[in-house]
Amino acid sequence: MAYITPHNQAPRGAFANTVLMPGDPLRSKYIAENFLDAAELVNNVRGVQGYTGYYKGKRVSVMASGMGMPAIGIYSQELFQFYDVTSVIRIGSCGSLDRDLHIRDLIIAQGACTDSNYADQYRLPGTFCPIGSWRLLRAAADEAAARGLNFKVGNVLSSDHFYNDSRSTLDWTRMGVLGVEMEAAALYCNAARLKKDALCILTVSDSLVGGEPETSPEERERTFTDMVEVALTIAD
């Protein structure tokens, strides 16, 4: 079989207009099996599972992004550029940098600060500020509010470092950054460059400032349902 890209075996048209992107392939599989009707596996290259099905009659896809900006940079670029996907909504976990945000609360990422050099490829004469789609952000905030969820909208830190030797992550709290994750900035850069829509919705899995016990991989796979339902509801 000739693949359209080195990382995707799906035929053209296999993905819906909106693709939800969790980091973990098992979370992609869980969402497809538990939230989508008639879900079909359309891509499994390198085990990065991609499915297309229906949510309340609406065609939606879900595919894993892997961990880190290089990974989501590849997968979102290919979805936008080669599969005509119009919107990618990252649904992931994060560490809270805000004392008012606790385990399973949501962050809707208006912007994504970063310590990455991902945007260097654009050869800009300054610093690019990666931001999410206002259309998707407004819809997600309205939906989260209607559901009575505890959430905040604001900046996150997309870091290249899970184990940060400088121990400087907490310095971002001085600038009001709400949480730390590893993918949103690259997704937002790709969307800006390709004139597409992107949003990152995060569930707090642990707190760097509150001393709460972190969630297990199994809990992150199976219990972050508020975030998933908000993303599925705003998908178009």
Q: Which residues are catalytic?
A: 206
CA torsion angle 94 82 125 108 (round to 10): -20
**Strand-pair category, 197-207 with 106-114:** antiparallel
| Residues 157 and 97: beta-carbon distance below 8 Å | yes
Nearest to 199 by CA among 236, 224, 173, 162: 236
Q: How many CA atoms lie within 13 A of 69 on its CB side?
A: 25
Residues 215, 199: Cα–Cα separation, whole Å = 23
- Collapse the DSSP code of 176 into the 3-class scheme (helix H, G, I; strand E, B; otherwise coil) and give the result: coil
